[in-house]
C-alpha cells in the first residue's frame, strides 16, 4: 500500500483552490426581456343593467421596482362611448384615500381625501351593446378598449326539496342560444349580515361612534357530480368556488346542472340566505380567468411566465363585460337565527 504524504495532499488542495478561484460558476440565463414602455392602465368590467365603473392608473417599470406609497391623483378624462357615440363622461369617485401630500393634520383640521376609487357613470349598461372606454391624461398617450356586453343568460334556478338532514340542492337550467361561443360562469354566495363600527381619532374628527348594518356576499364553494362543471373547475375535491365553461357540448340546447354547498361547511353556515348566480362572460374575461387560474404555476419548475389577455390599445389593462342572472333563496326554516 502506498502512503501519501500530508504535505503533498496540502499542495494538491492549494493547487485545486487556485484553479477554481479563477472560475465563475454563477448560473446565467440569456433571456431577452422586452423594453419597458410606460402607459396608462385601464381596467373595467361593464355589467348589464349597472352603471359603468373604470379604474385608471399609471404603469410602473418592473426593472426599477415599484414604490407602494400612493402617488398623487392623476387627473384623467374618462369617457364612455356606445357604437362610436359619446354616452357620458365618467366621474372620479372620492373614496377613503388620504391625500399623500398632506404631511400633517392641524388640530381641529380635517384629513384631505383624494379620488382613489373608480371613475363611475350614471347611465345603465345595456346587454348586447358594444361600448368603448377611453381615458386621456396630460403627458400620457390615450388608452381605450372596446367590448360587447353579452346577452343575459336564459336560466331557471330552483331549490329542490331534500330532507332536513341533507345538504341543500339547487337545480340550474341554462337554455343556450343558437351558435357556439357562449361563455358562462357559475357561482354560489351566502349573504352575511355585517356589523361595522367606526370611531374617529380625536385630532381628525369629532364624530361619535356609530354602527352600520350591511349585507355582504361571501363566495361559497359547492359540489357537484356534473362532468362539465368538474372539468371546467379542474376540481376533484368537491370544493368548486367558481366554474367557467363554454356551450361547446350543449349549443342551442337546455343544459341542467345540480349543485350543493360543499361538505366543508357546517349546516349553520349554508342554511342561511344563499344566491346562485349564472354569468354570461365576454371572451377576454373568460380567457383571463382560465390563464390566471390554470397556468400550471405554483410549484411547477417548468412553468413559463403567463401572458394575460389585454384588449387595451395605447397602454395596459383589460376591459371586460358580463351579464348576470341570479336567484336569492331565503334561509331554511330550521336555520339558526
Cβ atoms within 10 Å, residue 115: 16
Between residues 320 and 117, the one the model is more confident about = 320
Between residues 99 and 37, the one the model is more confident about = 37
Yes or no: say if 150 and 282 are a contact pair by the CB < 8 Å rule. yes
Task: Give pLDDT, residue 297.
Answer: 52
Gap between the Cα atoms of 191 and 213, Å rounded: 13
CA distances to 165, 217, 222, 270, 278 from 325, in Å = 29, 16, 18, 21, 5
Report DSSP letters for 175-214, one per residue.
EPPSSS--EEEEEEEEEEEEEEEE---TTT--PPPEEEEE
Task: Give pLDDT, residue 266.
Answer: 83
Dig out the grid coordinates for 20 from the structure: 477554481
- Res 15 pLDDT > 50: no
Task: Give pLDDT, residue 291.
Answer: 82
Query: Could you tell me which residues are beta bridge partners of residue 277?
Result: 187, 326
24 band by pLDDT with thresholds 50, 70 and 90: low
Report DSSP letters for 22-76, one per residue.
T-----------PPP---EEEEEEEETTSEEEEEEEE---TTT----SPPPP---
Gap between the Cα atoms of 199 and 51, Å rounded: 32
Cβ atoms within 10 Å, residue 111: 14
Q: Which residue has the cell 362539465?
A: 228
DSSP percent split of the chain into helix, strand, coil, nearest 5: 10, 40, 50
Task: Give pLDDT, residue 206.
Answer: 46
Task: Give pLDDT, residue 337.
Answer: 46
| Residue 233, SS3 per DSSP | helix
Residues near 123 by beta carbon (within 8 Å), at least 6 away in sequence: 51, 52, 80, 87, 88
Task: Give pLDDT, residue 19.
Answer: 46
Yes or no: say if 174 and 278 are a contact pair by the CB < 8 Å rule. yes
Gap between the Cα atoms of 187 and 240, Å rounded: 9
The fraction of the chain above a pLDDT of 70, given in percent, is: 73
**In sequence order, which ranges of the chain are alpha helices (DSSP H)?**
6-21, 227-233, 267-270, 283-293
Task: Give pLDDT, residue 210.
Answer: 43
- Res 128 pLDDT > 70: yes
Q: Which region among 204-208, 238-242, 300-304 has the lowest average model confidence (pLDDT)?
A: 204-208
E-strand ranges in 236-315 read 243-246, 254-261, 274-281
Q: What is the value of pTM for the model shown?
A: 0.76
pLDDT one-digit tens code per residue, 273-321: 999 999 999 999 999 888 877 765 555 555 556 677 899 999 999 999 9
Task: Give pLDDT, residue 94.
Answer: 65
Task: Give pLDDT, residue 199.
Answer: 53
Domain ranges of the chain: 37-150+283-298+306-326, 152-281
Amino acid at each position: 500500500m502506498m502512503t501519501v504524504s500530508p504535505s503533498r495532499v496540502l499542495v494538491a488542495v492549494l493547487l485545486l483552490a487556485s484553479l477554481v478561484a479563477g472560475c465563475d460558476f454563477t448560473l446565467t440565463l440569456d433571456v431577452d426581456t422586452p423594453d419597458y414602455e410606460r402607459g396608462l392602465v385601464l381596467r373595467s368590467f361593464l355589467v348589464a343593467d349597472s352603471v359603468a365603473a373604470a379604474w385608471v392608473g399609471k404603469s410602473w417599470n418592473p426593472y426599477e421596482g415599484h414604490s407602494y406609497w400612493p402617488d398623487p391623483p392623476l387627473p384623467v378624462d374618462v369617457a364612455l362611448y356606445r357604437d362610436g357615440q359619446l354616452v357620458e363622461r365618467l366621474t372620479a369617485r372620492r373614496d377613503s384615500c388620504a391625500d399623500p401630500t398632506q404631511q400633517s393634520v392641524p388640530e381641529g383640521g380635517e384629513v384631505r381625501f383624494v379620488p382613489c376609487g373608480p371613475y363611475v357613470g350614471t347611465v345603465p349598461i345595456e346587454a348586447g351593446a358594444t361600448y368603448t372606454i377611453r381615458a386621456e391624461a396630460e403627458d400620457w398617450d390615450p388608452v381605450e378598449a372596446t367590448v360587447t356586453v353579452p346577452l343575459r343568460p336564459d336560466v331557471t334556478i330552483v331549490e329542490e326539496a331534500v330532507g332536513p338532514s341533507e345538504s341543500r340542492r339547487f337545480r340550474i337550467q341554462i337554455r343556450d342560444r343558437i351558435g357556439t361561443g357562449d361563455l358562462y360562469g357559475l357561482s354560489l354566495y351566502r349573504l352575511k349580515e355585517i356589523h361595522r363600527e367606526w370611531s374617529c381619532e380625536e385630532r381628525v374628527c369629532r364624530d361619535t361612534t356609530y354602527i352600520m348594518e350591511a349585507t355582504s356576499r361571501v363566495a361559497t364553494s359547492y359540489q357537484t357530480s356534473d362532468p362539465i362543471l368538474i372539468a371546467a373547475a379542474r376540481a376533484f375535491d368537491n370544493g368548486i368556488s367558481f366554474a367557467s365553461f363554454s356551450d361547446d357540448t350543449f349549443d342551442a340546447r337546455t343544459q341542467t346542472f345540480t349543485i350543493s354547498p360543499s361538505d366543508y361547511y357546517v349546516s349553520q353556515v349554508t342554511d342561511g340566505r344563499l344566491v346562485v348566480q349564472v354569468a354570461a362572460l365576454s371572451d377576454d374575461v373568460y380567457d383571463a380567468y382560465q390563464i390566471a387560474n390554470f397556468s400550471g404555476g405554483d410549484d411547477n419548475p417548468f412553468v413559463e411566465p403567463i401572458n394575460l389577455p389585454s384588449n387595451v390599445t395605447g397602454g395596459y389593462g383589460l376591459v371586460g363585460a358580463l351579464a348576470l342572472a341570479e336567484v336569492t333563496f331565503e334561509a331554511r326554516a330550521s336555520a339558526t337565527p
